């Protein structure tokens, strides 16, 4: 099968991935395939052919003179071996009676070259990797509507997000590899085809905490960003939300993008409120210093007035706490009256529509709200977090 192995190896070496653009947008459908199509392989197969030969020659004399008998070779009776002399005559004479010949038999196998044609079969497994050669996960990092085991591949790269830091837009690379197995008869050849690299623009994502006076995200609002944030105004937040919405609005069949869009739309509706306070600081130790709305005789401060929140932030590595925000019922980040910590998950959002509980909750499921210290309760202490928050800080 050496000839077939060589041809199959050559066919595998000619395969390449076609139809992949150098750059693509998140959500863009890319259709690619392995080329060229496989054709018949023409090879010479060496077959071991059975051989059984009988032969008859000279120098013996048989009693059985029927050489055409099928059992002649097996049971022939030899009368004499030539030359034979008749010693009864003087001088002796040569005895020429009988049928002379030589018996023999040859059995076994010998190789025969047989020209053959065969159509090879192909099995494919597509792999998608990131910049660091980590295998990406279908459904989380990309979509493959028709699967990953066909010679053709339809793929949609899902958005990659980066925390907005005011710098120029960055990109990420996605690598496509086809692990191929060609088979013909009993011969198999394996080969990785590729890689082919696609560059995708990363989508800047803001880190923003929005808290509202009323439950269900209504009323005057406080918009907070970390002190190191490149966001400088409420309007700046609005401009950052729209590109994210544009990218994910066509991908809401993916649960995390549907959840993300809900968070973005909720924040956008909060930003439409007339009375909005803006804070750019890693922490606010006294929310009484921030006015939510102006009054004729007295302004309404943020302290002891907040009832709901939306938190947007892309997750950081597991070992990092930079994604978390802490909220306290007491000033100065003291925990004696109650404290909870919020993180976002795969959807980059955490929504709480009602803080009026000792154990408030957030959606979606990938977000977390951990009550580190329950409200102190009692006659003078708060028994809820709604209308009680007095300090907040980003980690």
State residue 94's pLDDT score: 73
Spans of all domains in the chain: 2-40+119-203, 49-116, 206-394
The percentage of the chain sitting over the pLDDT mark of 70, rounded to a whole number, equals 85
State residue 3's pLDDT score: 79
Mean pLDDT of 366-381: 93
The percentage of the chain sitting over the pLDDT mark of 90, rounded to a whole number, equals 67
Question: Minimal CA–CA distance to 132: which of 97, 94, 160, 104?
Answer: 160
Name the pLDDT band for 2 (thresholds 50, 70, 90). low
- With b for 16 or more beta-carbon neighbours within 10 A and e for fewer, the 48-76 pattern comes to eeeeeeeeeeeebbbeeeeeeeeebeeeb
Summarize pLDDT for 252-284 with one digit per residue, the tens.
999 999 999 999 999 999 999 889 999 999 999
Residue 47 near residue 111 (C-beta atoms within 8 A): yes
How distant, in Å, are the alpha carbons of 63, 66, 250, 330 from that of 95? 14, 21, 109, 137
State residue 47's pLDDT score: 72
CATH code that applies to domain 206-394:
2.60.20.10
User: Given a cut of 70, is residue 82 above it in pLDDT?
Assistant: no
Summarize pLDDT for 26-37 with one digit per residue, the tens.
999 999 999 999
User: Given a cut of 80, is residue 53 above it in pLDDT?
Assistant: no
Tokens describing residue 27: 């959500």
State residue 67's pLDDT score: 63
For residues 229 and 97, the model is more confident at 229
Summarize pLDDT for 172-200 with one digit per residue, the tens.
999 999 999 999 988 999 999 999 999 99
Residues 6+ apart with CB under 8 A from 359: 371, 374
Instruction: Return mean pLDDT, the chain.
Output: 88
> What kind of fold does domain 2-40+119-203 have according to CATH?
Immunoglobulin-like (2.60.40)
């Amino acid at each position: 099968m050496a000839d077939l192995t060589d041809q199959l190896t050559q066919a595998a070496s000619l395969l390449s991935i076609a139809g992949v653009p150098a750059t693509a947008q998140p959500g863009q459908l890319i259709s690619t395939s392995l080329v060229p199509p496989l054709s018949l392989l023409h090879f010479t197969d060496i077959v071991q052919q059975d051989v059984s030969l009988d032969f008859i020659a000279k120098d013996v004399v048989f009693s059985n003179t029927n050489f055409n008998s099928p059992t002649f070779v097996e049971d022939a009776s030899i009368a004499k071996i030539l030359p034979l002399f008749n010693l009864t005559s003087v001088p002796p004479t040569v005895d020429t009676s009988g049928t002379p010949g030589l018996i023999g038999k040859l059995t076994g196998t010998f190789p025969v070259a047989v020209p053959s044609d065969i159509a090879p079969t192909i099995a494919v497994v597509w792999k998608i990797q990131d910049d660091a050669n980590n295998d990406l996960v279908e459904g989380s990092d990309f979509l493959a509507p028709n699967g990953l085991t066909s010679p053709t591949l339809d793929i949609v790269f899902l958005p990659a997000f980066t925390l907005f830091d005011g710098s120029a837009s960055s990109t990420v690379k996605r690598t496509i590899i086809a692990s191929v197995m060609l088979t013909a008869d009993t011969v198999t050849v394996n080969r990785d085809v590729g890689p082919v690299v696609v560059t995708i623009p990363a989508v800047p994502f803001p880190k923003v905490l929005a808290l509202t006076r009323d439950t269900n995200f209504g009323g005057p609002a406080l918009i907070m960003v970390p002190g190191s944030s490149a966001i400088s105004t409420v309007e700046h937040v609005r401009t950052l939300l729209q590109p994210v919405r544009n990218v994910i609005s066509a991908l809401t069949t993916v649960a995390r993008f549907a959840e993300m869009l809900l968070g973005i739309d909720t924040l956008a509706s909060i930003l439409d409120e007339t009375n909005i306070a803006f804070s750019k600081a890693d922490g606010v130790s006294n929310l009484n210093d921030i006015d939510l709305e102006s009054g004729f005789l007295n302004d309404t401060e943020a302290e002891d007035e907040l009832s709901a929140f939306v938190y947007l932030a892309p997750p950081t590595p597991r070992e990092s706490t930079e994604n978390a925000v802490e909220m306290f019922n007491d000033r100065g980040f003291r925990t004696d009256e109650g404290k909870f910590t919020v993180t976002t998950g795969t959807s980059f959002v955490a929504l709480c529509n009602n803080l009026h509980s000792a154990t408030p909750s957030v959606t979606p499921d990938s977000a977390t709200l951990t009550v580190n210290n329950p409200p102190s309760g009692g006659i003078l202490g708060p028994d809820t977090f709604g209308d009680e928050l007095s300090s907040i800080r980003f980690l």
